[in-house]
Amino acid sequence: MRIRRKLYEIIFEADSPKGKAFDIALLLIILASIILVMLESVPDINLKYGHTLHILEWAITLIFSIEYIMRVAVVQRPWRYVFSFYGIIDLLSVLPTYLSLVLVGSHSLMVIRAIRLLRVFRILKLSRYTQAGNTLGKALWTSREKIFVFLFFVINLVIIVGTLMYLIEGPEHGFRSIPSSIYWAIVTMTTVGYGDISPETPAGQLMASFVMIVGYAIIAVPTGIVTSEMIRGSRNNNTQVCSHCLHDQHDNDAVYCKKCGSRLNEDH
Amino acid sequence: MRIRRKLYEIIFEADSPKGKAFDIALLLIILASIILVMLESVPDINLKYGHTLHILEWAITLIFSIEYIMRVAVVQRPWRYVFSFYGIIDLLSVLPTYLSLVLVGSHSLMVIRAIRLLRVFRILKLSRYTQAGNTLGKALWTSREKIFVFLFFVINLVIIVGTLMYLIEGPEHGFRSIPSSIYWAIVTMTTVGYGDISPETPAGQLMASFVMIVGYAIIAVPTGIVTSEMIRGSRNNNTQVCSHCLHDQHDNDAVYCKKCGSRLNEDH
Amino acid sequence: MRIRRKLYEIIFEADSPKGKAFDIALLLIILASIILVMLESVPDINLKYGHTLHILEWAITLIFSIEYIMRVAVVQRPWRYVFSFYGIIDLLSVLPTYLSLVLVGSHSLMVIRAIRLLRVFRILKLSRYTQAGNTLGKALWTSREKIFVFLFFVINLVIIVGTLMYLIEGPEHGFRSIPSSIYWAIVTMTTVGYGDISPETPAGQLMASFVMIVGYAIIAVPTGIVTSEMIRGSRNNNTQVCSHCLHDQHDNDAVYCKKCGSRLNEDH
Amino acid sequence: MRIRRKLYEIIFEADSPKGKAFDIALLLIILASIILVMLESVPDINLKYGHTLHILEWAITLIFSIEYIMRVAVVQRPWRYVFSFYGIIDLLSVLPTYLSLVLVGSHSLMVIRAIRLLRVFRILKLSRYTQAGNTLGKALWTSREKIFVFLFFVINLVIIVGTLMYLIEGPEHGFRSIPSSIYWAIVTMTTVGYGDISPETPAGQLMASFVMIVGYAIIAVPTGIVTSEMIRGSRNNNTQVCSHCLHDQHDNDAVYCKKCGSRLNEDH
C-alpha cells in the first residue's frame, strides 16, 4: 500500500524531485513520439528508416500503455480518472497504434498525444499559467453570445455571397458549384486568399472587392469583442469582501460597500 | 376566429410547446432547402439525383408559400407584416423558385432563405442575443462617421496606388487596366493576396511592399474604432451623483456611495 | 466687385443653395472624370470608344482649368489658396492632361482628382466628419513614436529574415536575390501571401512558419497602439476651463481644478 | 589621455556637434553597406559591377573594423563594452566579411549590420523613443504567460489539424507528409494563404473552411491581450491619496484634489 502511495506521488504530482523527473521524462517521450509520427509520414525517411521508426513507435506505445495502466492502478478513484479530461486524452494517445493493426494509416491519429503536452504547465509554475488560461477562456465565454451572433452573420453573408459569385462567374471560371463558391467566399472573407479560385470577370472582381473590404472591416468585430471583455476582466480584480453583507464585487477605489454602505475593512 | 388566434400563437410565438415545435420544424425545413440548392449546383449530384432534388425543391417552396399565406391570414395587421423585415424576407424566400420558370438559373437565389434562420434566436433565449446584436450594431453605428472617413481614405489610396501600379507594371505583367490594377490594390491592401496578379518588376515590388505595410498598419484603425466604441458602450452609463461627497462614478447596482458610504438617492 | 463676392460664395461656400448645387455638380464631374480614366485604360473599351473618351477628357480638363482660374480670381488672397492643400490638389488635377501632350501615358495620373472628392465632406455635415478625421489623425499622431519604433523593428526583421531565406532557399527556388527575398518576407509577414514565391525546402518552410506566427502575433502591436490611443482620446473630451488659472484638461468627474484648487463653475 | 577622452565623446556620445556628425556618418555608411549586400545578390548587377562592389565591401568592413578597435580602445571598461548588446552587434557586423574568405556566401550575413541602425534613436530625441520601446516591450512582457498559453494552443491545433488534413487529402493532393501538412495549417491559420498547397476534396475544403474561420477569430486573442495590457500600462499609475476626501485617482500632474480642492501632499 505504501508503494501505491509513493507511485501516486511520482506519477500524479510534480512537487517532489522524483515526480518532477517523471513528468519531464514523460514530456520528452511525448515530444519524441510526435516527431516520430511526423518523420514516418515523410516518404524519403520512411523508405530508409521505416522499420526502425516502426519499432520505436511500438516501444513508445507500450511505455504509454504501461503508464496508463499504472495511473488507473494507483489512483484512489480509477473511474473518475478514466473519465476525466486527462484520462480520456491519455487513453486516446495509446489507441491509434493498436487501431493501426486493423485500420491502415490510422496510427497518424496518435498526434493527439500533443494534447498530453498540456502537462508541461504542471512543471512550470502551474497556477500563473492556469490563471492566464482562465482569463482567456473567461473572456471568450463571457462574449459567447456576441461571438455567436457574429458567426451567424458571417455564415449567412458567406452563403449569400458564395451563391451570387456562382451565378456571376459560373463553373467556367472555377466556381464549380455553390459549396465551392462558399469555400471561395470563406477563403476571401478571412483574408487567407489561396488564389486556387479567383474571380476573372469584371463583375466578379467588383463583387470580390466588396467582400474583401467587408472582411477587412469586420475582422474588427471579434477583436473588439474579445478586447473589451479582456479589459473589463482585467479591471475587476478586487478581492475585498464586505464583512456586513458579504458582497464581493467592489471597484478598486471603493471605500464603502456599495450595497449596504458599511466600511470595507482592508485598511485594518 | 378562435382558430385564427390559435394559429397566430403557433406561427408567430415560440413560448407554447406547439409554437416551439412549429419554429423548430420551420428551421429544419429552411436548412434542408439551403442544403438542397447547394447539392443541386454540384454537377455530379445534379446528374444523378437532379430530378428528385427538383421535386423536393418544389415541395419545400409550396410549404413556404402556404406558410406565407397563413402568416398573412392570421396576423392582425397583414400589411404591417408584409412590409416588415421578416415579411419581405419570407416573400423573397419563395419567389426565386417561381421566377426560375421564367428565368433559368435564378432559383439559386433562394439561398436568401438563410436569412430566415434569424428566427433561431427566437427559440433560444431571445433577449440576450438581441441585446448582444444591439450592442454590436450600436458600436458600429456610433462609429459610422469614423468608418466613413476611413473608407473614403482607403478607397482614395486604392485608386491612386492602382493607377501608379498600372503605370509601373503595365499590361505586360498582368496589370491589364486601371480597374484591374485597383482590384489588385484591394486584394493586397486587405492582405487577401490571391497571387493571380502580382508585381514582377523591382519598382512594382517596392511599391507593393509599401502598400502591404500600409495595409498591415491601417487594419489597426477599424479595429481601434470598433474596440473603443465597444468599451465606451460597455462602461457604466450611470449618472447618479452622491449628494454627500459628490462622487459620480457609481456602478448600476450601487445603493450606497462607495466613497463615503451615504445612501444614493435615486430611489426617492 | 459684387459679382466677385457672389462667385466667391458659390465656389467656395456650400451653405447657400447655389453654392451647394455648384459643389454637387463639381463632385459629379470629378467622379465622371475618374471613371473616364479607368474606362480608357481597358483595352476593349479604348479600342471602341477611345476617341469619344479622349474628347470628354479634354472637355472635363477645360472645365477644371476654368474653375481653377476662377478660384484664383475670386479669392481674397490668391497665393494663399494656390499654396493651400486644396489649391495644390486642384492644380495637380489639371496638369496630367496637359502633360500628356508631351509625355505619353502620363494622363492616367489625373486620378489624383480622387483627392478632390474630399470636398464631399463640405456638403455633408462638415464638422462631424472633420472631427472624426481629427480624432483618427490625432490617435495616429500621438502614437507616432511607438509606430516608428514598431516599423523600425519590422523593417529590421524583414531584412534579416529575407537574407536568411536567400541563403536557405537560394535562387534555384525562386529567391533570386536578397531584395526579392525581402519582398517575400514582407508578403509573408503582412499575411498577404501571394504565393508567387514560396519556400520549397523543409528548412525554408520551417523558417517561413516561424515568420508567419511572428507576423500573426505582431499585428497585435499596431492594433494595440492605435486602440489604446483612441480610448485615451475618447476619454478626455471635457471642455471645462478653470476660471482662475485657465487650465483646460480636466477629467469628466473633476469638481475642483487640479492645478490651482479653485472650484470649476459648470454647475453655475 | 585627453585625446582618448575626446575620442570617447565623439564616438560614444551624440550631444556635441562632432559626436553627432560621427553618428550620422556612421549611419550613412551602415545604410550604404546594407544596400551593397543587396545589390551584390542581384545577378545582373553582380555580373556588371561585382568587382567594384567587392572592393567597396572590403573598404567598409575595414572602416568598421577600425571603428570597433577604437571603441574598445577609448572606452573605460573594454570588456563591459565587448559583452554589451551593442558590442556584440558591432563585432558580428564585421565578422561575416572575414568569414567569407573561408566560407563562400557567408558575407551576406553582414546584413546583421541593420541592427546597428538602432543607433539612430540616439541622434533623435533618444529618451522618448526608448520610452515608447519600453512601453511596447513591457506590454509584451507582462502578457507573456497569456501569449505562451495562446501559442501552446495554436501549435497544438496546428499539429492536429495538419495531421487530419494529411489523412483527408493525402500525398496525391499535395499534402505530401505530416510536416508539410502542418506547414499548410500554419499558412492557413495565420491567413497568409500562399496557395502552393490547397485542399481539393470537398472534405478537405470543409476542414480548411473551419480552420480559416477559427484562425480569423483567434487573431482577436493576441490583439486583445496586447491591447488590454497597453491600456492598463497607459492608465494612471499615480498613487497619491487626498488626505481630505480620500479620493485616490489623481492624474500625474495634479497639484490639488479634483474632488474637494484640497492640496495633495506629495510635495511635503
The residue behind cell 484638461 is C249
**Does D132 touch chain C if contact means CB atoms closer than 8 Å?**
yes
Asked if A4 and A73 count as a contact pair (C-beta separation under 8 A), the reply is yes
Q: What is the amino acid identity at position C250?
A: H
Query: Which residues, other chains included, contact A70 with Cβ-Cβ below 8 Å and sequence gap of 6+?
Result: A7, A11
Is the distance from CB of C248 to CB of C233 less than 8 angstroms?
no
- The beta-carbon contacts of D40-48 under 8 Å, at least 24 apart in sequence, are D41/C166, D41/C177, D41/C178, D41/C179, D41/D108, D42/C176, D42/C177, D42/C178, D42/C179, D43/C171, D43/C176, D43/C177
d(CA A151, CA A172): 31
Question: Which of C253, C230, C16 lies closest to C137, judged by CA?
Answer: C230
pLDDT at B258 over 90: no
Q: Name residues whose C-beta falls within 8 Å of residue C149's C-beta, 6 or more positions apart in sequence.
A: D121, D129, D132, D133, D136
Tell me, what DSSP letter sits at residue A263?
A: B
Using an 8 Å Cβ cutoff, are C69 and B209 in contact?
no
Answer whether A21 touches B (CB < 8 Å).
no
Yes or no, beta carbons of D260 and C259 under 8 Å apart: no
Locate D19 and state its grid cell.
Answer: 559626436
Instruction: Give the three-state DSSP class for C256.
Output: strand
Question: In chain B, which residue ranges form alpha helices assigned H by DSSP?
Answer: 2-12, 17-41, 43-74, 78-82, 85-99, 120-123, 126-142, 144-168, 178-189, 202-218, 220-234
Q: Is B36 near chain A, with CB under 8 Å? A: no
C30 touching chain B per CB within 8 A: no
For C89-119, what is each residue's pLDDT tens digit? 888 888 888 888 887 777 777 777 777 777 7
H helix runs in B13-42, sequence order: 17-41
Distance from CA of B106 to the nearest CA of C (A): 29
Q: pLDDT tens digits, residue range A127-172?
A: 666 777 777 778 778 777 778 888 888 888 899 899 889 988 988 8
Closest to C195 in 3D by CA, of D195, A212, B25? D195
In chain A, where the domains are located: 2-127, 144-232
Asked whether C178 and C166 are in contact (CB, 8 A), the reply is yes
For the residues B87-101, what does the mean pLDDT come to?
86
Name every chain C residue with its beta carbon within 8 A of the beta carbon of B172: none
Average pLDDT over residues D88-92: 87
Instruction: Say if the Cβ atoms of B37 and A156 lie within 8 Å.
Output: no
**Taking CB atoms and an 8 Å limit, are B194 and D195 in contact across chains?**
yes
A18 touching chain B per CB within 8 A? no
- Reading the block at residue A22, the C-alpha cell is 517523471
Tell me the C-alpha to C-alpha distance, in Å, between residue A123 and each of A6, B9, C89, C90. 18, 59, 64, 67
Contact by Cβ (8 Å): C77, C87: no
Least trusted range by pLDDT, from A51-60, A226-235, C93-102, C161-170: A226-235
Give pLDDT tens digits for B24-39: 888 899 889 888 888 8
Q: How confident is the model at residue D249 (pLDDT cuts 50, 70, 90)?
A: low
Share of chain A above pLDDT 70, in %: 86
Where residue C268 falls among pLDDT bands split at 50, 70, 90?
A: very low
Cell match 572590403: residue?
D58
C-alpha cell at C31: 467622379
To the nearest whole percent, how much of chain A has pLDDT over 90?
Answer: 13
Is the model's pLDDT at C238 over the cut of 60?
no
CA C22 vs CA C5, C116, D24: distances in Å: 15, 14, 53
Candidates C140, C149, C161: best to mutate against D (most CBs of D within 10 A) is C149
Instruction: For residue B76, report the phi and psi dihedrals to the nearest 5 degrees.
Output: -65, -55
> What is B144-232's CATH topology?
Helix Hairpins (1.10.287)
Q: Across residues C81-86, what is the average pLDDT?
A: 87
The class of domain C2-127 in CATH terms is: mainly alpha
Q: What is the pLDDT of residue B183?
A: 93
What is the CB neighbour count within 10 angstroms for residue B176? 18
The reply to whether C2-127 and C144-232 are identical in fold is no
Per-residue pLDDT tens digits for D131-167: 777 777 787 787 787 788 888 888 888 998 998 899 8
User: In whole angstroms, what is the distance from residue B230 CA to residue B222 CA?
Assistant: 12
Rounded distance between C-alpha atoms, residue C44 and residue C34, angstroms: 18
- Computed over every residue of chain A, the mean pLDDT equals 82
C210 touches C203 (CB < 8 A): no
pLDDT given for residue B234 in this prediction: 63
CA-CA distance, C198 to C203, in Å (whole number)? 12
What are the residues facing B256 on neighbouring strands? B263
Closest chain C C-alpha to A114 CA, distance in angstroms = 18
- Residue pair B123/B27 in contact (Cβ under 8 Å)? The answer is yes
Q: pLDDT grade, residue D100 (50/70/90)?
A: confident
Task: Give the pLDDT confidence of D193-237 residue by residue, as tens digits.
Answer: 898 888 989 899 999 998 898 887 777 888 888 888 887 776 544
ipTM: 0.80
Q: Which residues make Cβ contacts (< 8 Å) with residue A172, sequence separation at least 6?
A: none
Of the segments A137-151, A231-245, B192-206, C93-107, which one has the largest average pLDDT value?
Answer: B192-206
CA–CA gap between residue B90 and residue A138 (Å, rounded): 38
Instruction: Quote the CA–CA distance of D259 and C253 in Å, as a whole number.
Output: 8
The per-residue pLDDT of chain C, averaged, comes to 82
pLDDT band at B267 (very low <50, low <70, confident <90, very high): very low
Residue owning grid cell 553597406: D33
**How far is D261 from D244, CA to CA, in rounded Å?**
9
pLDDT at position A137 is: 79
- Measured CA to CA, the distance from residue C199 to residue C201 in angstroms comes to 6
pLDDT-derived band at C240 (thresholds 50, 70, 90) equals low
Interface test with D, best of C141, C142, C143, C145 (most D CBs within 10 A): C145
Q: Which residues of B fall within a CB distance of 8 Å from C253?
A: 247-249
Which of the other chains make 3 or more beta carbon contacts under 8 angstroms with chain B? A, C, D
* Contact status of C129 with chain B (Cβ, < 8 Å): yes
Contacts of B189 in chain A (CB under 8 A): 216
Cβ atoms of residues D97 and D57 within 8 Å: yes
Question: Mind telling me how many Å the CA of B67 is from chain D's nearest CA?
Answer: 33
**Chain C residues touching D195 at Cβ < 8 A:** 193, 195
User: What are φ and ψ of residue B94, in 5° steps?
Assistant: -95, -35
Interchain contact, A191 vs C194, CB within 8 Å: no
Task: Tell me, yes or no, if the pTM score tops 0.80.
Answer: yes
Q: Is the CB of B256 inside 8 Å of chain C's CB atoms?
A: no
Q: Which of D221, D223, D224, D266 is nearest to D243 (CA)?
A: D266
When scoring C48, C154, C194 by the number of chain B Cβ atoms within 10 A, the one with the most, hence best to mutate, is C194
